[in-house]
């Protein structure tokens, strides 16, 4: 079975542009998590979904960030407008709803905002 798939793997954009990150969770997993990792702040949970429904978005930095999960096999994280401080690695992870201690991470999207 394929693992969590993320695209793009790398993204370089200019300040003010819209950025859309994509994630396909492992088939059968019903919990999906978006994380951001930086040297300064470590690994931060941005938002997570159970059965396609957002459960907790308290980690979303500000209104510039939004996430959707239209179906069980696809999620997006959008940043509009992007800022240089958004530069980070963004990970998507998935798990079974009753096994959230065991999360499977995608390879990440390395975002650089100039």
* Binding interface with other proteins (CB under 8 A): 42-43, 45, 48, 56, 91, 93, 100-108
CB 67 to other proteins: min, Å? 15
CB 102 to other proteins: min, Å? 5
- Select 93 or 111, whichever has its Cβ closest to other proteins: 93
CA dihedral in degrees (95, 48, 17, 82; nearest 10)? -120
Task: Report the C-alpha gap between 76 and 23 in whole angstroms.
Answer: 6
Collapse the DSSP code of 13 into the 3-class scheme (helix H, G, I; strand E, B; otherwise coil) and give the result: strand
- Select 17 or 27, whichever has its Cβ closest to other proteins: 27
Task: Report the C-alpha gap between 33 and 50 in whole angstroms.
Answer: 9
- Select 48 or 65, whichever has its Cβ closest to other proteins: 48
């Amino acid at each position: 079975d394929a693992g969590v798939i993320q695209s793009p793997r790398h993204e370089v954009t200019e300040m003010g542009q819209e950025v859309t990150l994509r994630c396909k969770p492992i088939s059968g997993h019903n919990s999906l998590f978006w994380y951001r990792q930086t040297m300064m702040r470590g690994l931060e949970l941005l938002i997570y979904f159970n059965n396609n429904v957002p459960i907790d978005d308290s980690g979303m930095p500000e209104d510039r960030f939004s996430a959707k999960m239209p179906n069980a096999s696809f999620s997006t994280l959008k940043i509009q407008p992007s800022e240089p401080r958004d530069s980070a690695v963004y990970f998507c992870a998935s798990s079974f709803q009753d096994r959230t201690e065991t999360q499977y991470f995608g390879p990440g999207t390395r975002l650089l905002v100039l």
